[in-house]
């Protein structure tokens, strides 16, 4: 369970300690020693060992593919990672992507809907808006370190936000479809 949790959060290395603690990291930061200190049973499965007192049982996921925050796509540019919650959404408009969620699919859908801002969250959720996210919701620093590191369901090598973390992109222009403008077509109006 610890290894799966770390992998989902974007880390290759996982470690258990004191029978119930789970630690994650991108690399090993200390040299390995003997496993003689890793004698505590896991709280969730007593047949397994989960480290010990000041001893960490370490696992290295050799199939791990690093997750990256895609810096740009078409006319979109990565903005940052923002806090979000189901009770108070950063962006009000939900776009359904399904199990094939990717950054490109979300941004294409936002452009088609006419949004200037688009965000991804929790593996496959996509949201759009025409107003920038509130500055108070910004989580400064590297978006992956800020919690926007969950892999997309449709492409596990790119980030699709995180738990209550929205990876936000901004449309810089030329590919934006304006749904608000209308023009005359033989006596009626047509949206485009």
| 16 and 40 housed in the same domain | yes
Range of the domain at 38: 2-60
Q: What angle do CA 75, 80, 84 make, to 5 degrees?
A: 115
Could you tell me if residue 190 is inside a domain? no
Q: Is the pTM for the entire model greater than 0.85? A: no
- Give dist(CA 124, CA 141) in Å, integer: 23
Could you tell me if residue 179 is inside a domain? no
C-alpha 70, offset from chain centre = 11
| Nearest residue to 167 via CA among 185, 187, 144 | 144
| 13 and 104 housed in the same domain | no
| 95 and 156 housed in the same domain | yes
Write down the pLDDT at residue 87.
Answer: 93
CB-neighbour burial class of residue 51 (10 A; exposed 0-12, middle 13-18, buried 19+)? buried
Could you tell me if residue 66 is inside a domain? no
Write down the pLDDT at residue 186.
Answer: 33
The one-digit pLDDT tens for each residue of the chain (192 residues) are: 998 888 777 788 899 999 999 998 877 766 666 667 889 999 999 999 999 988 888 988 887 777 889 999 999 999 999 999 999 999 999 999 977 899 999 999 999 999 999 999 999 999 999 999 999 999 999 999 899 999 899 998 899 999 999 999 999 975 444 333 333 333 333 333
| 78 and 159 housed in the same domain | yes
Strand partners, 57: 16
- Mean per-residue pLDDT of the chain: 85
Segments in the chain forming alpha helices (H) = 2-8, 103-113
| 10 and 45 housed in the same domain | yes
| 82 and 166 housed in the same domain | yes
| 76 and 136 housed in the same domain | yes
Write down the pLDDT at residue 26.
Answer: 79
């Amino acid at each position: 369970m610890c290894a799966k949790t770390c992998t989902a959060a974007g880390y290759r290395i996982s470690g258990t300690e004191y029978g119930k603690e789970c630690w994650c990291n991108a690399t090993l930061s200390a040299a390995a020693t003997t496993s003689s200190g890793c004698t505590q049973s896991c709280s969730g499965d007593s047949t397994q060992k989960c480290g010990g007192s000041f001893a960490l049982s370490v696992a290295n996921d050799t199939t791990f593919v690093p997750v990256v925050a895609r810096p740009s796509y078409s006319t979109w540019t990565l903005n940052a990672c923002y806090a979000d919650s189901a009770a108070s959404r950063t962006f009000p408009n939900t776009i359904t992507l399904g199990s094939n969620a990717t950054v490109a699919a979300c941004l294409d859908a936002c452009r088609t809907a006419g949004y200037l801002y688009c965000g991804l969250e929790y593996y496959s959720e996509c949201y759009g808006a025409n107003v920038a996210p509130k500055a108070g919701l910004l989580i400064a620093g590297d978006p992956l370190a800020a919690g926007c590191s969950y892999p997309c369901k449709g492409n596990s090598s790119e980030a699709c936000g995180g738990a209550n973390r929205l990876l936000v992109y901004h449309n810089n222009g030329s590919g934006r479809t304006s749904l608000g403008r209308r023009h005359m077509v033989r006596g009626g109006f047509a949206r485009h």
